[in-house]
Amino acid sequence: MKSLLPSIRRYAGPLTMLAPVILYFLIFHYTPMAGLLLAFKDYTIREGFFGSQWTGLDNLRHLFFSGDFVHVLRNTITISLLRLVFGFFAPLLLALLLNEVRAVGYRNAIQSIAALPNYISWVILAGIFLMLLSDQGPVNDLLAAGGFRRIGFLTEGNWFIATLISTGIWQGVGYGAIIYLAALAGISPDLYEAAEIDGANRFHKIVHINFPALVPTIVTLFILNLGSVLNAGFDQIYNMYNPSVFDVSDIIDTFVLRRIQTMEFSLGTAAGLFKSVVGMILIVAVNAAARRISKGEQGVY
């Protein structure tokens, strides 16, 4: 305590400024965690937090053993991993490419346009894609006019997944690129000048300067992304799926939704808890792995 007090006094200004943020997290993120108790109770509002009966693992058991949970879990992980594999590097690529564009006005325009879909709700985007990609929609009309077979983008399992992933990438790529562009902007011009003196061309500079400079950002984002691997994108799937692709697109969130349409708070909490625990295990494990591989230089913490 002795050593702490002087430093608190010394940093009083910054600490005061930090206080609202800490309060925010305490009030809106840590305090509600107490609500996780509901996952182990048969919660009814009248009986309240304490009065409600303990049910142990009943809610989790109920979640896992009612219906075809394994199937749903597999769908969730499949969609998430595909999103990660194909979607993770798309913003990186866009950022590297945009960074090479010399005309500032043009670059800003592209960047803004690419980031725009991120602000449009999936309710609207799904409506647009359902119209464009339906069996009798304009895209298939074009294919048919060109002599190709009509493709069930929305009605055949594998095509539907491909549609989900690609439209998901399209929606998020511009926004995701912003963080990489910020990192790229921070690279010292000295490095480029030195490279030019050594005779490096643009490609060399990308490979040897830009990319290495982005590695910490990439690792951080990758670890954070893994944490949400059980979130396969409820908004998008719920708005785009239909009976012919239930097999491949029924995810944890849609599964839980069917069970909590009545005020089943405990079950909803149990599902949320399960997703968070898996996410946390992944973050901790991957972070440890990243630190080990990079000998302590990389990782979120």
Partner 1 sequence: MSIPSFRVLLSIRAHAEVGLICLGLLLAGCGKPGPEGRTEAAQIDWTRVSDDPSKTLEISWLGPLGFEKGRPGSWIQSRVEELFNVKLDPIFIDPVTFDKVLSLRFVAGNIPDVFWDGEPMRIRAKVRHGFVLELPYEVLLEHAPHYVAYVNAEAPETWMYCYWQGRNWGIPTVVPGGAIPLISAWRADWLENVGISKVPETLEEYHEAFRHFTFDDPDRNGLADTYGLSPSVAHWSYLFTEFFAQRDILAFDLQEVNGEITWGGIRPEAKEVLAMLRDWYAEGIIDPDFVLGSVNDSMLAFQNGKVGYYGLGTYDNTLNAAEPSALINRMAQLAPGIRLVAGPPPLGSDGRFHRRAWGGGGHVMQFSVDIDPEKVLRVLRMLDTIYADPKLALELNMGRRGLHWDYSSEHGVRTLEPYKEKRAEGEMIGSGNFTGPSFFAPSGLPLDVVDTLRSEGQREAVRLYSQPEWGLINSLGKTDVLASASDSLGDLRRIQEKYFVDIIRGKRPLSDFEEFVAEWKRQGGERLLAEANEFRRKRDEVWRKVGVVKKEAQ
- For partner 1, the binding residues (CB under 8 A) are 27-28, 31-35, 38, 44-51, 53-54, 62, 66-68, 130, 134-137, 154-155, 234, 238, 242-244, 246-247, 250, 253, 255-265, 268-269, 272
Task: Tell me the closest approach of the beta carbon of residue 163 to partner 1, in angstroms.
Answer: 12
The CA-to-CA distance between both ends of the chain, in Å, stands at 25
Closer of 63 and 114 to partner 1 (Cβ): 63
Question: 164-201 as b/e, with b when 16 or more CB fall inside 10 Å?
Answer: bbebbbbbbbbbbbbbbbebbeebeeeeeeebeeeebe
- Asked if residues 169 and 183 have their Cβ atoms less than 8 Å apart, the reply is no
**What does the DSSP assignment read for 148-179?**
PPP--TTTSHHHHHHHHHHHHHHHHHHHHHHH
DSSP SS3 for 182: helix
Minimal distance, residue 195 CB to partner 1, in Å: 47
Task: Kindly report the length of the chain.
Answer: 301
Q: Shortest approach of partner 1 to residue 101 CB, angstroms? A: 37
Asked if 38 contacts 265 with a C-beta cutoff of 8 angstroms, the reply is yes
CA distance 81 to 185: 30
The strand pairing partners of 41, in sequence order, are 54
Residue number, 266 or 298, with CB nearest to partner 1: 266
**Measured from the CB atom, is 35 or 117 closer to partner 1?**
35
Measured from the CB of residue 41, what is the shortest distance to partner 1 in angstroms?
10
Give whichever of 97 and 120 is closer to partner 1, judged by the CB atom: 120
Shortest CB 66 distance to partner 1, Å: 5
User: Please, which residue, 215 or 263, has the CB nearer to partner 1?
Assistant: 263
